[in-house]
């Protein structure tokens, strides 16, 4: 187990597209999951936030997301298969730029298909917070950061100024 460095905004590796995971890489992925969990919980201790982390954020260019909003969920090769027409606007945060929030538009609900660590095909339906979280993390696998989805040039606020800004 190891706490890894989280790549920070400006690191060109964050813009890379991550590769599909093959079944014979599962053992390797299990080790990386431990690192993802340790890294995320260390971040959470420091910042009081952080519910999911994508493998490329610790420099592993593989399509894997670790999420823990009460219990751990590992998503291998996640793919959004359905998106609601209804959208929502949210302030997005990210462990790769912990002091900045970005106003983005996301689908209100999505369906995600993925494989678990037993290589079983899984599907989950996510709404609101969870839908936003998963859209954010899956973006990381495609090298997309929240600022690339900013609504306009005023869609940025530092965490300390966040309370001054109205939600809509
Ligand atoms: Zn992020």
SS3 137: helix
**Dihedral of alpha carbons 95, 7, 2, 65, sign:** positive
Please check whether residue 105 lies inside any domain of the structure.
Answer: yes
Q: How far does residue 120's CA lie from ligand 1's centre (Å)?
A: 26
Lookup result for tokens 């969920």:
73
Tell me, in angstroms, the distance from the centre of ligand 1 to residue 95's CA. Answer: 5
Rounded distance from Cα 126 to ligand 1 centre (Å)? 18
The CA 135 to ligand 1 mean position distance, Å, reads 10
Of the residues 20, 22, 137, 153, only one is catalytic, namely: 137
pLDDT of 156 reads: 95
Residue found by looking up tokens 């989280």 in the block: 6
Burial 44-59 (b: 16+ CB within 10 A, else e): eeeeeebbbbbbbbbe
Q: How many domains would you assign to the chain? A: 1
- The reply to whether 125 falls in a domain is yes
Q: Is residue 4 part of a domain?
A: no
Confirm whether 167 is domain-assigned: no
Q: Domain limits at 156?
A: 12-162
In this prediction the pTM is: 0.95
In a domain, 48, yes or no: yes
* Ligand 1 centre distance from Cα of residue 119 (Å): 25
Is 14 within 8 Å of 44 (Cβ atoms)? no
Residue 46 lies in a domain: yes
The verdict on residue 5 lying in a domain is: no
**148 alpha carbon to ligand 1 midpoint, in Å?**
12
CATH number at residue 61: 3.90.45.10
Residues 6 or more apart whose Cβ sits within 8 Å of residue 23: 119
Whether 168 is in a domain gets the answer no
- What are the pLDDT tens digits along the chain (168 aa)? 699 999 999 999 999 999 999 999 999 999 999 999 999 999 999 988 899 999 999 999 999 999 999 999 999 999 999 999 999 999 999 999 999 999 999 999 999 999 999 999 999 999 999 999 999 999 999 999 999 999 999 999 998 887 777 665
What's residue 166's pLDDT? 66
Determine whether 137 is an active site residue. Answer: yes
């Amino acid at each position: 187990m190891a706490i890894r460095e989280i790549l920070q905004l400006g690191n060109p590796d964050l813009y890379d597209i991550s590769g599909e995971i093959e079944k014979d890489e599962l053992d390797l992925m299990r080790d990386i999951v431990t690192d993802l969990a340790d890294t995320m919980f260390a971040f959470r201790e420091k910042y009081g936030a952080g519910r999911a982390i994508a493998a490329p954020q610790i420099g592993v260019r593989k399509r894997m997301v670790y999420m823990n909003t009460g219990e751990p969920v590992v998503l291998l090769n996640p793919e959004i298969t359905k998106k609601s027409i209804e959208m929502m606007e949210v302030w997005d945060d990210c462990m790769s730029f912990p002091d900045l929030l970005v106003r983005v538009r996301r689908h209100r609900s999505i369906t995600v298909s993925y494989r678990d660590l037993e290589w079983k095909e899984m599907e989950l339906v996510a709404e609101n917070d969870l839908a936003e979280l998963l859209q954010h993390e899956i973006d990381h696998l495609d090298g997309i950061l929240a600022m690339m989805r900013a609504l306009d040039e005023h869609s940025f606020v530092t965490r300390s100024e966040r309370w001054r800004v109205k939600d809509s």
